[in-house]
Chains A and B, each alone.
Chain A
Amino acid sequence: MQLSHIALFTAGSLLYAGFCPPRQRGWLLMIASVVALYWLQPTLTIFYLDFALPTATLALAAAVWWVTRPPENPPMLNGDDRLALALLAGLVLALSATRYLAPELRPTASRAPDVPPVALALLLLGLAGWALRRLFGVQRGALTAALVVLVALFIVLKTPPLAAGLAAALRGLTGQNQALAAPLDLEWLGFSYVAFRLIHTVRERQMGKLPALSLREYVTYIIFFPAITAGPIDRAERFVRDDRALLPAGENPAARLLTAPRLAEAGGRIGMGLFKKFVIADSLALLALNAVNAGQAQSAGALWLLLYAYAFRLFFDFSGYTDIAIGLGVLLGFKLPENFDRPYLKNNLAAFWQSWHITLSSWARFYVFSPLSRILLRHKVNAQAAVFLAQMATMLIIGLWHGVSGGFIVWGMWHGLGLFVHKWWSDRSRKWYLSLNQKPRLKTAWTAAGIFITFQFVTLGWVWFALPLETAWRAFLGLFGLVL
């Protein structure tokens, strides 16, 4: 999101809070989120792909909504769902019709495809959905199939050679030069967040915990515009609680949006987010570690300087965006979950992961660590080995969420190993640590040492996160003066 996006979102949110009739709020949010999905999508080199990918997001959301409906729901859509479906299709067609507007007035990344082919594509999508339902019905297997499709899509998009292969295939379809295919051809706005939200709803349905959601609620949850680019990854049942609280003021006093406390909270969060992102993070970006300057650093001290700049840049950039998302959410009547809680001031790695990208680490804890630990323990794997394996797998998944590359794998393993060592150490030092309560000065010193060590460990880990693997090795050794 650029400043212009944020300014327009803020202004739009204020108008929404002040003037939108309460009964229309939910609908307006869905419409705004759909338009924002196309507006924020980066321009792509493959013809019409920057229109097709947001459309695919909507199609995926609608399809997964269908398979995650409670089994007891009637097979036919109710009135609201039919309206939502019609509205989605209408919006996609309307957005494609904006191709006739002047370029500066178009909300799409580039000129959209013409209306008839878009209408035909929507019709084919609908027919495919109908045929699949006729063939397989809505059964448990559909949930598993949805999971497989989402994970497969995720792997393809996040694995550079696979993404480049897919890009080449798409270039072949559009008659473009396949030799120029690159993973960046498939820069799909918010897909990482969308996919994890979709997977969350599938798993919750499989566990029978997902509340019944209307199509409008579900689509809005998946593509909620303040959180589409940088999270947080909210939970559906929490999101829908806020959504349903957007009732007429007479029926729900909490539904008045334009109140002084709300404006103060939203203004404060958005202002803080803008400062973090556009002043601090963008300034630090001028000297933050990257693949070029890592090879130019003249000393170990210089590399540490670049690395610290990267560590703080990453935090202020990401947490700044989160603040903006939360602030916009407040204006719109949603209390999005916090994603950061002073992570660099935590005195151990477990606490760091409870305060850094909280919603992603919670997601991984729910859907990877806990089930995997249970399975391993059920299969009589030694408890310590089970914890080790589950922690490594969880951190690997978090690493791979950022991209399938050697650097992210090493970064995930770095943290997995760190968490295991931390647990091993804290299990053995618990009594001693508790005894520190009698010696406050020593406890303070120990806590400070813990903060320092944790920060250093996390910061060293960013080397693998920031750089391609081969550069990262050199930089890592260079930090200790071994290779320069």
Chain B
Amino acid sequence: MAKWDWLERPPAPYTPGFLARVLVKAALLFVALNAAFALLDPLPALGRLSLYNRLFPGRHRLPYGEDPARSYNLSLWSLEAMLESHEVARPKAAGEFRVLVMGDSSVWGVLLRPDETLAAYLDAGGYAAPDGRTMRFYNLGHPIMALTKDLMLLDAAMACQPDLILWPVTLQSFPRGQQLEAPLVQHNAAAVRRLIAAYGLALDPADPRLLDDSFLDRTIIGRRRDLADLLRLQLYGAAWAATGIDQFYPETYEPRRSDFEPDAAWQGLTPETGLPDDFLAWDVVEAFFARAGDLPVLLVNEPVFISSGQNSDLRYNFWYPRWAYDAYRSRLFERAQANGWPVLDVWDAIAPNEFTDSPVHLTPAGSRQLAGLIAPVLLKIAGQP
């Protein structure tokens, strides 16, 4: 039997043959490891390995960051890693009534501290569900405007045992053509295709925007960016734990526009064309409710900035011409009534000065005010099956 003496054994003189053998073995090992990685595809399993909620506290919102060095946060594509890094991945406590707050950047809280978001203010309310359990709110918003992304995240987050879903939405997330635009959606093609098939979504599973990985893409070399992202997410966990910062806050920002061109077009549509019914992805909303199953879902038509500036007779804000937004609202209520969706419409409930850099991003005060508007309705439906 070989002795365990390599630490003390004097080094053998290296020979060309020895070097050649090392190189050949290294090359073979490299190929074998890459092939095994591609065949086994362990990325989802690796994504579930996390120091968050163990060594570091879980994040209050999902990983997202355009400036990782300053926000100690980054955007990545692994749904498993995203959820594992979130506090929602903690085991559900006895007596906890778990509420997932899904949605776009306004829910995620652009320009807001983690304790200034809608979910944070609802959580700070210390509400109790009708059955006496303590309501805990988890911010699962993600700064992308697409309903499909919300559906995909809900599908992944159902494993976290939610008791209620709060889903603020806005028209900008509805256009069908936009549903597969988001990189997070495109990089999770398998999950999206599964949802398309399961719920009969009117989206093309062969859409070239959905990224299919070749064998080489699935090797260690092909996955190097994903692997580096997983590692960086864990490292930023230490910085997040040390600072409580997960977003870069600029000293100044460009406020949402109040004056507009005399333009009534929206997404290529005009008052003349109207808003065709299939232009909006209502089927994704239906799928969302179907995926939630028996869980109560409160759909919220989220507040938007209403301008009184130049050409505000044509447009509510930079995003929405009045005719398109009005048509969307009326469709939303028709659909909600037809399908029995609980809807809270707070589109005009927040004063214009509480909007920051976009027609849906709120100040901390606006966010708190919104939480106050939602809470009573939420409590009402919390006890409903």
Task: Identify the A interface with B (CB < 8 A).
Answer: 260-261, 263-264, 283-284, 286-287, 292-293, 296-299, 302-303, 305-306, 309
Q: Is the CB of A292 within 8 A of B241?
A: no
Bound-state Cα–Cα, A203 to B235, Å:
47
Q: Does B346 contact A (CB under 8 A)?
A: no
How many interface contacts (CB-CB < 8 Å) are there between A and B? 54
Q: How far is the CB of B26 from chain A (nearest CB, A)?
A: 10
Bound-state Cα–Cα, A263 to B232, Å:
33
Among listed B15-23, B46-54, B208-216, B357-365, interface-contacting one:
B15-23
**Which B residue sits closest to A262, measured CB to CB?**
B14
Q: How far is the CB of A233 from chain B (nearest CB, A)?
A: 29
Q: Does B243 contact A (CB under 8 A)?
A: yes
Bound-state Cα–Cα, A261 to B15, Å:
7
Q: Is the CB of A293 within 8 A of B232?
A: no
Q: Which A residues touch B242, using CB under 8 A?
A: 287, 293, 296-299, 302-303, 305-306
Q: Is the CB of B243 within 8 A of A260?
A: no
**Which A residue sits closest to B17, measured CB to CB?**
A260
Chain B, interface SS category? helix
Q: Does B221 contact A (CB under 8 A)?
A: no
Scoring B238, B241, B242 by chain A CB atoms within 10 A of each residue's CB, the highest score goes to B242
Taking A296-B242, A298-B242 as known contacts, 10 extra A-B pairs with beta carbons closer than 8 A to each other, sorted by chain A number, are A260-B13, A260-B14, A286-B69, A287-B72, A287-B236, A287-B238, A293-B239, A296-B244, A297-B242, A302-B241
Give 16 pairs: A residue, B residue, CB < 8 Å, sorted on A. A260-B14, A261-B13, A261-B14, A264-B19, A283-B231, A283-B232, A283-B235, A286-B68, A286-B235, A286-B239, A292-B70, A296-B245, A297-B242, A305-B241, A305-B242, A309-B238
Q: Which A residues touch B72, using CB under 8 A?
A: 286-287
Bound-state Cα–Cα, A98 to B357, Å:
47
Q: Which A residues touch B241, using CB under 8 A?
A: 302, 305
Bound-state Cα–Cα, A260 to B12, Å:
12
Bound-state Cα–Cα, A261 to B11, Å:
11
**Which A residue sits closest to B231, measured CB to CB?**
A283
Our pick among B16, B69, B70, B244 for the contact of A298 (Cβ within 8 Å) is B244
Bound-state Cα–Cα, A45 to B242, Å:
36
Q: Is the CB of A264 within 8 A of B14?
A: yes
Bound-state Cα–Cα, A283 to B68, Å:
13
Q: Which B residues touch A302, using CB under 8 A?
A: 241-243
Q: Which A residues touch B19, using CB under 8 A?
A: 260, 263-264
Bound-state Cα–Cα, A292 to B67, Å:
14
Q: Which B residues touch A263, using CB under 8 A?
A: 14, 19
Map CB proximity to A onto B242-254 as digits: 1 under 8 Å, 0 otherwise. 1111000000000
Assuming the contacts A302-B242, A303-B242, asked whether A260 and B235 have C-beta atoms less than 8 A apart, the reply is no
Q: Which A residues touch B236, using CB under 8 A?
A: 286-287
Assuming the contacts A283-B231, A298-B243, asked whether A305 and B238 have C-beta atoms less than 8 A apart, the reply is yes
Bound-state Cα–Cα, A52 to B117, Å:
54
Q: How far is the CB of A266 from chain B (nearest CB, A)?
A: 11
Q: How far is the CB of A398 from chain B (nearest CB, A)?
A: 29
Q: Which B residues touch A261, using CB under 8 A?
A: 13-14
Map CB proximity to A onto B237-272 as digits: 1 under 8 Å, 0 otherwise. 011011111000000000000000000000000000
Q: How far is the CB of B300 from chain A (nearest CB, A)?
A: 32
Bound-state Cα–Cα, A261 to B17, Å:
11
Bound-state Cα–Cα, A261 to B16, Å:
8
Within 8 A of A (CB), among B223-241: 231-232, 235-236, 238-239, 241
Q: Which B residues touch A303, using CB under 8 A?
A: 242
Q: Which A residues touch B232, using CB under 8 A?
A: 283, 286
Q: Is the CB of B243 within 8 A of A296?
A: yes
Q: Is the CB of A260 within 8 A of B16?
A: yes
Q: Which A residues touch B245, using CB under 8 A?
A: 296
Q: Which B residues touch A293, using CB under 8 A?
A: 239, 242-243
Bound-state Cα–Cα, A25 to B69, Å:
44
Q: How far is the CB of A18 from chain B (nearest CB, A)?
A: 13
Bound-state Cα–Cα, A306 to B245, Å:
14
